[in-house]
Chain A
Amino acid sequence: MENKFIVNDLDLYYKDFQALKNININIETNKVTAFIGPSGCGKSTFLRCLNRMNDLIDSARIEGSIIFDDVSINSMNPVDLRTKVGMVFQKPNPFPMSIFENVAYGPKCQGIKDKKVLSNLVEDSLRAAALWEEVKDRLNKSALGLSGGQQQRLCIARAIAMQPEVILMDEPTSALDPIATAKIEELMSELKKNYTIVIVTHSMQQAARISDNTAFFLLGELIEYDKTEKIFSIPSDKRTEDYITGRFG
């Protein structure tokens, strides 16, 4: 399928405040899509719509439709949806348990008990997250002893262990140093072969480096959505131009 998500006329309100205004966007399968825009523009709010994380906020009201692989996400069980649409957050948030248990936790909750199956799944996920070589000899050590960059890759491995189709990333490298950032970015280009990736980032350069498509949000509106090379060389909208060249203020 060419599009993993098809979003039509999406509005989101926090009580009386409209945080997202008439969003229409298609998220392509096996591509990296970046959401950019100033703080408060709605990009993270929109990201969280894609796996119904906003359902957890009482005051949030959503109108419009989000189709995931031909199915409206509202008709899906949110737990099933979040199994298929995993998420990685800004701050690495490993569970206070061993490296192995962090990755095995989700599959265990799903009922997988076979030790061999679990250990294969943990290894595959850690390999996919480019962390295996660094942790294979200390799988039973606490995940909290890992570096920030390793913790973030562990969180990616934890998401991958659920065998999702989409990985949502909300500023996944903003707490990392440039080397750890480079590793995550390299990982993303590897992961998109098997997953659809949507990333919120404040780094223009990061969006330019890693994404195939870029969406620019401003004040709750999707201003421009196009191929990344087009956005960063010849944006169509003056507001996009002003934002990415740093003349927005």
Chain B
Amino acid sequence: MTNQKNLIDDSIIVLRLDIKNLTGMIVEQYKKVISSIKTRDIDTALEVIKNDGEINQLCEDIDLETIIVIARYQPVASDLRRVMTINKLAYEFERVADYAKNIAEYVITGKKLNVLKTAEIIASFEKMFEIIFRMLKTNLQAFLDEDKLMAREALLMDNEIDELYKSNFDELLQKFKQTNDESEQHMISRALVLNKQIERAGDHLTNVSEQILYLIKGKRFNAE
């Protein structure tokens, strides 16, 4: 028995490339948003918001294309899991991109209110962003290579994010209690929201890892 090429293969190749491009676009978005926080550069933040429209469009295109592929080829077994995974990944990545946009919006309103003290925020969040980057890249590689060890690795990174989220939260809450300065409080409350946004992005990237594990193993991660 030999493996022969199938009509669906070409469509899946294109869709996988779309997922690769989508991940690349999201990495760029996060790079820009971190830079906009650091430099308090409104133009960069605005660019992130604008680019989010393109990401949404790509996600919609991927969604539509997977429906067409299902309608045309009625995939089964690993083909079906692959197409469904691509569809779900597009959805999850779209949400991850949304958080970059939300953060960019905070940067803009924060600047206008003149309450965003960048140095403190960066100290708290840079580590979390760094893990988000690693999760994005590891997930993409796990998906492209269908490598379960990499998917597992990405999945476990979320624990690091959760720990940082908790320690950031406690630290910010302490600061909030210690100050009577209204603008300081405002800044801290915004930072609390930002902290949550990054944590949520991590949750969606965890869903991505779980979906990739499903693709490879044919069962849910927690089924083990």
| Residues on A facing B (Cβ under 8 Å) | 204-205, 208, 232-235, 239-242, 244-249
Q: B12 to chain A: closest CB distance in Å?
A: 11
- Interface centre among A234, A235, A241, by most chain B C-beta atoms within 10 angstroms, is A234
Q: Convert B46-84 into 0s and 1s, putting 1 for each residue whose CB lies closer than 8 angstroms to a CB of A.
A: 000000000000000000000000000011111111000
Bound form: Cα–Cα A246–B38 in Å: 53
Which residue on chain B has the smallest CB distance to residue A246? B6
| A242 with B218, Cβ < 8 A, contacts A232-B80, A233-B76, A233-B81 known | no
Give the contacting residue for A233; candidates B2, B6, B7, B77; CB below 8 A.
Answer: B77
- CB pair A232 B1 closer than 8 Å: no
- CB pair B2 A244 closer than 8 Å: no
Q: Does B4 contact A (CB under 8 A)?
A: yes
Give the contacting residue for B4; candidates A232, A240, A248; CB below 8 A.
Answer: A248
- CB pair A249 B2 closer than 8 Å: yes
A-B contact pairs, 16 of them (CB 8 A): A205-B74, A232-B76, A232-B80, A233-B77, A233-B81, A233-B218, A234-B77, A234-B219, A241-B78, A245-B8, A246-B6, A246-B8, A247-B5, A248-B4, A249-B1, A249-B2
Give the contacting residue for A234; candidates B2, B3, B8, B218; CB below 8 A.
Answer: B218
Chain A interface helix/strand/loop/mixed? helix
Which residue on chain A has the smallest CB distance to residue B84? A233
What residues on A are CB-neighbors of B75 within 8 Å?
245
Which residue on chain B has the smallest CB distance to residue A230? B218
Please name 18 further chain A to chain B contacts, defined as beta carbons within 8 Å, in addition to the given A233-B76, A248-B1, sorted by A numbering.
A208-B76, A233-B218, A234-B81, A241-B77, A241-B78, A242-B1, A242-B3, A245-B6, A245-B8, A245-B75, A245-B77, A245-B79, A246-B4, A246-B6, A247-B4, A247-B6, A249-B1, A249-B4
Bound form: Cα–Cα A239–B3 in Å: 10
- CB pair B6 A232 closer than 8 Å: no
What residues on A are CB-neighbors of B77 within 8 Å?
232-235, 240-241, 244-245
What residues on B are CB-neighbors of A208 within 8 Å?
76
What residues on A are CB-neighbors of B4 within 8 Å?
246-249
Bound form: Cα–Cα A69–B77 in Å: 34
Which residue on chain B has the smallest CB distance to residue A240? B77
Q: Convert B1-33 into 0s and 1s, putting 1 for each residue whose CB lies closer than 8 angstroms to a CB of A.
A: 111111110000000000000000000000000
- CB pair B80 A233 closer than 8 Å: yes
Bound form: Cα–Cα A17–B4 in Å: 28
Bound form: Cα–Cα A233–B78 in Å: 7
Bound form: Cα–Cα A156–B17 in Å: 50
Q: Convert B72-107 into 0s and 1s, putting 1 for each residue whose CB lies closer than 8 angstroms to a CB of A.
A: 001111111100000000000000000000000000
What residues on B are CB-neighbors of A235 within 8 Å?
77
Bound form: Cα–Cα A246–B4 in Å: 8
Q: A131 to chain B: closest CB distance in Å?
A: 29
Bound form: Cα–Cα A101–B1 in Å: 49
Bound form: Cα–Cα A58–B78 in Å: 43
What residues on B are CB-neighbors of A240 within 8 Å?
77
Bound form: Cα–Cα A50–B85 in Å: 41
Which residue on chain A has the smallest CB distance to residue B219? A234
Q: B133 to chain A: closest CB distance in Å?
A: 32
What residues on A are CB-neighbors of B81 within 8 Å?
233-234
- Interface centre among A233, A240, A247, A249, by most chain B C-beta atoms within 10 angstroms, is A247
Which residue on chain B has the smallest CB distance to residue A232? B76
- Interface centre among B5, B6, B75, B76, by most chain A C-beta atoms within 10 angstroms, is B76
Q: A85 to chain B: closest CB distance in Å?
A: 30
Q: A204 to chain B: closest CB distance in Å?
A: 7
- CB pair B1 A244 closer than 8 Å: no
Give the contacting residue for A244; candidates B3, B8, B76, B219; CB below 8 A.
Answer: B76
Give the contacting residue for A239; candidates B1, B74, B218, B219; CB below 8 A.
Answer: B1
Q: A177 to chain B: closest CB distance in Å?
A: 18
- CB pair B78 A245 closer than 8 Å: yes
Bound form: Cα–Cα A56–B5 in Å: 41
Bound form: Cα–Cα A205–B218 in Å: 20
